[in-house]
Each structure stands twice: as structure tokens, then as C-alpha cells.
Amino acid sequence: MENQKKVSAISDVGAWGMNIVSSVGIIMANKQLMSNGGYGFSFATTLTGFHFAVTALVGLVSNATGYSASKHVPIWELLWFSLVANTSITAMNLSLMLNSVGFYQISKLSMIPVVCVMEWILHSKHYSREVKMSVMVVVVGVGVCTVTDVKVNLKGFVCACIAVISTSLQQISIGSLQKKYSIGSFELLSKTAPIQAVSLLVFGPFVDYYLSGKLITNYKVSSGVIFFILLSCSLAVFCNVSQYLCIGRFSAVSFQVLGHMKTVCVLTLGWLLFDSELTVKNIMGMVIAVAGMVIYSWAVEREKHANVKTHSHANVKTHSHAKHSLTEEEIRLLQEGIEKNPLEDVELAEAKS
């Protein structure tokens, strides 16, 4: 039992580690690929289509070689999930284009309370006071270190709302689909990735043209661009797999809260690798955010132990009541036996006489 817990804990840490490393890595690779100081490849939606195409290819090879098994999930569920996921990607890109960086960061922070509310509505999930407080600490910390100027316009606000709702729904759906159909994270990803890849590669260039005013067919490809696209796609496979793993193992709220560790890592690496400014305000925000994550982890563990104790106590009470009922039944049967035995003796006596 102890060994199983240790293996599970190591697997959990591995999933989080893979997600953080691959997410931060892909951000750094995309920064070099898409920035004006890099290769100026400003086609984010099409690039995401490449990511899912490579992920779908890996899933296909894995199924063909027997490393993973394909389980049945209704096609309408896969189409619905892919629609939500692609809406999330497109709306996020539009939100980043139409809004200031400050408002974009606030919209991303709002996903934590939105996920909490949606899980409460859809799954009747409740959170302890400690969990709610730790979530607020994380939100404040990340807000302090990332939010700068905040400018709002109607189009940007609508896109931000759609992005937050669709992203939150997507993350909740990953966990619910895995539980509903008893399907592994990679198996689910290998089923949804082809649908997302095809739709993003078909519609992505049009979305990118609207966002940047440039056609991907006019872009001059170099060996450096190809290298960073392949690197980005490789990291995307690990990022997508680890995201499904994390949400399958934990919850969408946990994924959002601990996922802000990536923000702290990105800010730190940006300062180390790209000479980004790191102010006292950023450092204070990071410290608050990390403290909130530690408190959140403690609160979740405390909640788990409390639930285990409650279930154990309930099981003991149930067992006690069951034993008490069984004893009463035994007494009743004994009484009936005592009452029946004299009657049988009388009948026998009369027969003998």
C-alpha cells in the first residue's frame, strides 16, 4: 500500500514536471520563432494546427505499434470537445491581439474562479475555505507580477469572455471524458488531436490573416524556421500529453492553480535568457504566488485527509448498524424457534397418545 502511494506520488510529480518543462520550453521556442527579433513567424493558429498534426501522428504510431489501445468514445463527444478546444485557441489569440497585455493577463487569472463555479454547477463540487483562500492568494500574486496597463474595449472584452469560458469548459471536459469512458489521457488525446489538426490547418491561415494581415503562403521559410517549428511541435506533444495527464489525475482547478508556476518560470527565464526586466514588483508577486501554491497544496491534502476520515467513520457506523441489525434478527429467529418447539412437542405427544 505504501509502495503504491509512493509510485502514485512520483507519477504525479512527473506529470507536473513534464507539463511545466514542456510548457515553458514551448513558450521560449515560440518566442524565438514568432518575435520580430527572431524569425517573425506570426501564424499562431496555424502553428497550433501543426502541433496537433504531430500529436495525432504520434498517437497513430502508438496505436499501430500496440503501445496504446484505442477505446470507443462517441464521435459527437469528440466533435463537441474539439469545437470547444479550437474556440479556446482562436479566442485566446484574438484576445491577445485586441486587448492590452494587462487585461489579457487578468482574463487568464479569472479562469480559476470560473473553473470553480463551472465545476460547482456541472458536478456539484464544493471547496473548503482554505482552498478558496489559497486560490485568492495565487490570483493576487500572479496579478501583481504580470498585470501592467489595463485597457478594455468591447470586441476585446467579448473575445476574452469567450476564451475564458471555452478554456475552462475544455479543461473540465478532459477530466469528465476520461472518467466517463474510462479512457487514458493519451488515448483521449490521440482521438481528439486529428479533428483539431484538420480544422485548425483549414481555418487557421484565415484566422492568422485576420490577426496579422499576412498570408502564410507569402512567408519565406528558412532552415532555422523549420528547426524551431519542429522543436515547438515536439514540445507540444509533451505539453498536450502532460496536460491531459494532469487534469485526469487531479482537477481543472488544481491544473490552473499550480499551472501558474509556469508564469513564474517564464518570467524568470525571460529575465535570464532574453534580458527582460525583472522589477521588485515582479519578485514580490512571484513570492506571493508561490506561497499561495504551497498553501493550496496543503489545503487540498488537508481536505483529502478529512474526506478519508469521514468515509472511514461512516463505514464504521454502517458496519456497527449492520451488526446490530443482524443481532436483532438472530434474537427474533431464536424467539420464533423457542415458540415453535413447544407446539411441535405437543403435536408429537398427541400423536403418540
CA distance 59 to 85: 18
CA distance 183 to 175: 10
pLDDT per residue as tens digits for the range 66-95:
777 777 889 999 999 999 999 988 888 888
pLDDT level of residue 331 (50, 70, 90 thresholds)? very low
pLDDT of residue 185: 77
pLDDT of residue 90: 87
Q: What is the pTM of this model?
A: 0.67
pLDDT level of residue 6 (50, 70, 90 thresholds)? low
Element (H, E) at 97: helix 75-98
The more confidently predicted of residues 165 and 302 is 165
CA distance 145 to 261: 12
Other Cβ atoms less than 10 A from the Cβ of 49: the count is 24
Element (H, E) at 268: helix 261-273
pLDDT per residue as tens digits for the range 10-41:
777 777 778 778 877 887 888 888 877 788 88
The more confidently predicted of residues 313 and 344 is 313
Q: Does 146 reside within a domain?
A: yes
| Grid coordinates given for 324 | 446490530
Q: Are 241 and 189 in contact (CB under 8 A)?
A: yes
Domain assignment of residue 147, given as a range: 1-317
CA distance 280 to 127: 33
How many domains are contained in the chain?
A: 1
pLDDT of residue 324: 46
176: exposed, middle or buried (C-beta count within 10 Å: 0-12, 13-18, 19+)?
middle
Q: Does 279 reside within a domain?
A: yes
Residue appearing with cell numbers 508561490: 290
The more confidently predicted of residues 208 and 248 is 208
pLDDT level of residue 56 (50, 70, 90 thresholds)? very high
Among the residue ranges 150-154, 223-227, 340-344, the one predicted with the least confidence is: 340-344
pLDDT tops 50 at residue 342:
no
CA distance 190 to 88: 19
